[in-house]
Amino acid sequence: KQEVTQIPAALSVPEGENLVLNCSFTDSAIYNLQWFRQDPGKGLTSLLLIQSSQREQTSGRLNASLDKSSGRSTLYIAASQPGDSATYLCAADSNSGYALNFGKGTSLLVTP
Amino acid sequence: DAGVIQSPRHEVTEMGQEVTLRCKPISGHDYLFWYRQTMMRGLELLIYFNNNVPIDDSGMPEDRFSAKMPNASFSTLKIQPSEPRDSAVYFCASRSRRLNTEAFFGQGTRLTVV
């Protein structure tokens, strides 16, 4: 089974900083890695999907990278804003199953 | 498409009662997933279906939990009898393997068993 770990568990930064969230996974034979955002009491919003053949994906101020050989992905957030405060979840599937397995998330607080 | 639709959004029930959660996936998606989220354990995969067939139910915690997908547009997760430790948010998600799409999640059902 794919095991996903996210570091750090929580992060607090002042507005305007660039930041990196880390995700590691145990099975490098993945189809996809997906990053989500979850606001308190809400559902999951997909941010970026990286397919196994890709190295990175970008959307606005977000950039996600994938290194299958090392079992790592990073989510880079540029010029952070208070509205970015949320929990960020990383999830990966594997060749042994198409279901996404989730990390515990990184709780991000961006202070004005 | 309206996205993945779950009902009810909130459910409060007494211990011992039967609870049924419902999900309508995105049209054309061939995979459907049920997850449970708690503070302690995070998001756990309970079961998933491919073309309406259960593929992996190893995450279903006990025999009290059952899931069905009678057709491509509807799935249910049933808990009978319910217990207070079943209190959690239950999410349904769907995706298309043929198109290798993102997984899309419903808004979840917040279940409280008292």
Ordered per-residue pLDDT tens for chain A, 112 residues: 889 999 999 999 999 999 999 999 998 888 899 999 999 989 999 999 999 899 999 999 999 999 999 999 999 999 999 999 999 999 999 877 789 999 999 999 999 9
Residue in B closest to A93 by C-alpha: B103
Residue in B closest to A51 by C-alpha: B100
Q: Measure Cα distances from A1 to A96, B47, B86 in Å.
A: 8, 14, 24
Query: For residues B113 and B94, what is the distance between their CA atoms, to the nearest angstrom?
Result: 26
Look at residue B109 in the predicted model and tell me its pLDDT: 98
Structure-token pair, residue B25:
């996936």
**Those residues with Cβ within 8 angstroms of residue B58's Cβ, 6 or more apart along the chain or in another chain:** none
Window 66-105 of A: residues touching B by CB (8 A cutoff) are: 89, 91, 97-105
Instruction: Let me know: does A38 contact A27? Beta carbons within 8 Å.
Output: no
Beta-carbon contacts below 8 Å between A and B? 50
Q: Between chains, do B100 and A98 touch, taking CB under 8 Å as contact?
A: no
Query: For residues B46 and B35, what is the distance between their CA atoms, to the nearest angstrom?
Result: 5
